[in-house]
Structure 1
Amino acid sequence: MTEANRRRIPPEIVEEILCKLPVMSLNRFRCVSKSWQSLISDHCFVRKHLSHAAEPNNLSQKALILHNTAGSGNWKIHASYDGLLCIHVDRSVYIWNPCLKTHRKICDGLICTCSFGFGYDSRRDDYKLCKLSYLWRQKITETEVYSLGSGSWTKCDNFPQHYSPHYSTSVFINGSIHWLALGEKPKPYSFALISFDLSDNKYREVPLPECWLKYPHNSLDVKLCVLKGMLCVIVDWKSCFVLWAMKDYNLDQKSWTKILDIPLDLDLAFSVYYILADVKPFYMYENGEVLIGVSSERGTELLICKDNSVLFRQIIFPRQSLIGHGFVHVESLISPLPLENGEQQIN
């Protein structure tokens, strides 16, 4: 396209077209002209492109990222949000945008038991990493928050007393990072759901479903996920896989709704999944169908379930994998690099 032809197209139409393109194409188009380079690097355009990519019906700019090597403990994906991955490689933690092929090292030399959460502080337009470190001698869990905007760490109030974070994957929703926690009182192995608000750095407890007490907590496999903008709790216990969703985020137990309750004796050879299995929902489609990953001795499978039935099932790896470390990843132009590196960065 010549410069003369480009001038005939109104700038607002050019912007609407470009914001619907994948990141790989936009990276190439930076070289078309100075005006396109400026537009693609503009903060407002980056947010607009992200908003389009994150739309529920836009699957072309989403990808399922899986850790397909069972037993490989030298790296782990802790979180994915707005196209940025929080990854743990050996003893270092990075924020990485795989589409832009840019990353920032946040910390290294980790020797303590740590859990990480990652999310966006909309009040300050800043992405933040939360690190929980369990200090054995003091028997407390220390909280530190890293700001990508300032490039600095801040110490916050410690994790709530009488709870310790359950070192499963954290999730970010409604401005807060959420962890499952194990209680010490009133009795060991009791679960709680703890949130950390990135805008005020405060911890809060979120109620779990009312029927939660019916499960024997010391034999329960529990995880968190976000589906279609809803906070979800997954229970994998004995003979059932149960998925609860908080349709309206608040502190009321009645806001939880059971989405799936699948008996493990379905025609899925699910009996071999119990104990040795790893189960994680990844995505909820507009029609209510749920994409679920299952890893067992049979291999790694993707299932589509709805109304307590399995509609589709396919093995994607012939071996077990760390399916719980997988995420649905959204393409974005947001870079983890600071401004001095010459990359687009949050303001």
Structure 2
Amino acid sequence: MSRLPQEIIVDILTYLPAKSLIRFKCVCRSWRSLISDPQFAKLHLKRAYEDENMNRQRLLVATDPLYSVDFEAASDGDNGNALVKLPYPNAESHNDSFAVGLFLGSCDGIVCILDEVDNVVLWNPSTRESKKLPGPSSFLNKDFSTGLGYDSSTDDYKMVIASSATATGSDQIMVEVFTLKTNTWRTVQGSLSGITLGGRYEGVFWNGALLWLGKQEGGAAHDLDVIVPFDIEEEKFMEAVPLPNHFYTAFLSISGNCLCVLGQLKPSGSCFEAWLASEYGVETSWKRLFAFPVDKLYLDCYSTEMWLTKKGEVLVDNRGCPGKLTLYHPVEDARKLLKVENDGDPFYDSAIYTESLVSLC
């Protein structure tokens, strides 16, 4: 390997999973320096997003023990590598206990966690690096929407908490923004005219914006009508975009480089649909992928995460059915169940993340 040009070595290493690269830091000093370089971490992450053959998406399940689920491996029948137990993150000391309460956001392999004693912690499950954040002002006392995103203009990660309750009852909404480089929170004011955010909801980061589901004023009581974007760089709300259909319940996720919305349609919620968009804006063009009767899937108010595999299967985390993850193929009408151990709270949370080497320093 030493006879190869450095750029060839770098290119080869970007194809490898984070777990292997962390072990390879012990090969020699030059490899340790290379793999620890933030620029290499960016190249490695870029490869994961651009190469369709890569399989670095995981479902992080806040059971006890904590699990990382490779749902693509499960889809391919590789059950031996589908479920991996992880140690709980510990941002303060190696002797203190730590338990996950809620996932507040995920971006580039970094996951934001609210623990059981209301600490906010950033964690990279691949590198095991964690960082406890200073507490925000008072978001825990209100309905709130959260998310984690990347500001390419400053090369910084931002945690966002948007409170759907205001003291004045106006269109103004309080938004708290944490920046990793400054390690501080600040408050910015936003406006959502005629739109209500969908309560405690973890936003999806896509194309420079955090996306939440919202309800347009005047709609039916349970309809989710619009997607509400928050520009990470400008730190302001953008114009809401209508959903491709009226959903009774819905989830946002990313499939490849496209935005995906999955959920039950009104009025009765008896039909389940999946839609895809490659570009985002007021004139967003949506494509319906499939539809099927909702009784093909076990769904309830506790279902917390949905995703599409490369084979077109729907991943559903039914935390209301403890320890059960479902992969459903709508064309073949085939179902696979993945069971995880859980000695903790049966109503656990979950989040999608990308395996990466991104550092919190």
Query: Structure 2 length as normaliser, TM-score?
Result: 0.75
Deviations 1:199-223 (A, max 9, x none): 22221233224542xx6xxxx2222
Q: What amino acid is aligned across from residue 225 of structure 1 in structure 2?
A: S
SS where residue 250 of structure 1 aligns? coil
Structure 2 residue ranges without an equivalent (≥5): 65-98
Instruction: Show the counterpart of 1:340.
Output: none
Are 2:109 and 1:83 aligned?
Answer: yes
Residue 141 (1) aligns with residue 177 (2): no
Q: What is the correspondence of 1:224-303 to structure 2 with a 5 Å cutoff?
A: 224-237=252-265, 238-253=269-284, 255-266=285-296, 270=297, 273=298, 275=300, 278=303, 280-285=305-310, 289-295=312-318, 297=321, 300-303=324-327
Bigger shift: 239-248 or 185-194?
A: 185-194
Task: Name the structure 2 match of 1:162.
Answer: 194
Q: How far 1:134 sits from its partner (Å)?
A: 4.2
Cα distance in structure 2, aligned partners of 1:262 and 1:50: 35
Structure 1 residue 315: deviation in Å?
A: 4.2
SS at match of 1:8: coil
Picking from 318, 329, 332, the partner of 2:353 is 329
CA displacement at 1:234 relative to structure 2: 2.2
2:66 paired with 1:37: no
The structure 1 residue matched to 2:228, chosen from 153, 171, 194, is 194
Contact 2:63/2:341 (8 A) holds in 1 = no
Unaligned regions of 5+ residues in structure 1, if any? 1-5, 338-347
Contact 1:143 1:155 in 2 (8 A): yes
Q: Which amino acid aligns with 2:264?
A: D
Looking at structure 1, the residues matched to 105 and 227 of structure 2 have their Cα atoms a distance apart, in angstroms, of 17
Give the counterpart of 2:61 among 61, 66, 71: 66
Give the direction of change, closer, same or farther, for the CA distance of 1:41–1:165 in structure 2 (3 Å limit). Answer: same
**Greater alpha carbon shift after TM alignment, 135-144 vs 74-83:** 135-144
Matching of residue 53 in structure 1 with residue 48 in structure 2: yes
- Identity across the alignment (%): 27
Instruction: Identify if the C-alpha distance between structure 1 residues 92 and 183 changes in structure 2 by more than 3 Å, giving closer, same or farther.
Output: farther
Distance 1:248 1:260 in 2: 19
Deviation at 1:44, TM superposition (A): 2.2
| Contact 1:230/1:249 (8 A) holds in 2 | no
Cα distance, 1:34–1:294 mapped onto 2, change above 3 Å: closer
Deviations 1:10-67 (A, max 9, x none): 32232223222232332333344332232122232111111223333212x4432223
Aligned residue-pair number: 312
Q: 101-110 or 236-245, which moves further after superposition?
A: 101-110
Q: How far, CA to CA, are the matches of 1:318 and 1:182 in structure 2? A: 36
Pick from 24, 45, 67 the counterpart of residue 19 of structure 2. 24
CA distance in 2, matches of 1:205, 1:95: 29
Residue number in structure 2 paired with 1:313: 336
Decide whether aligned partners of structure 1 residues 154 and 103 sit closer, same or farther in structure 2, where only a CA change above 3 A counts.
same
Partner in structure 2 of residue 94 of structure 1: 121
Secondary structure at the counterpart of residue 13 of structure 1: helix
Change over 3 Å in CA distance of 1:162–1:264 after alignment to 2: closer
CA 56–159 in structure 1, closer or farther in 2 if over 3 Å, else same:
farther
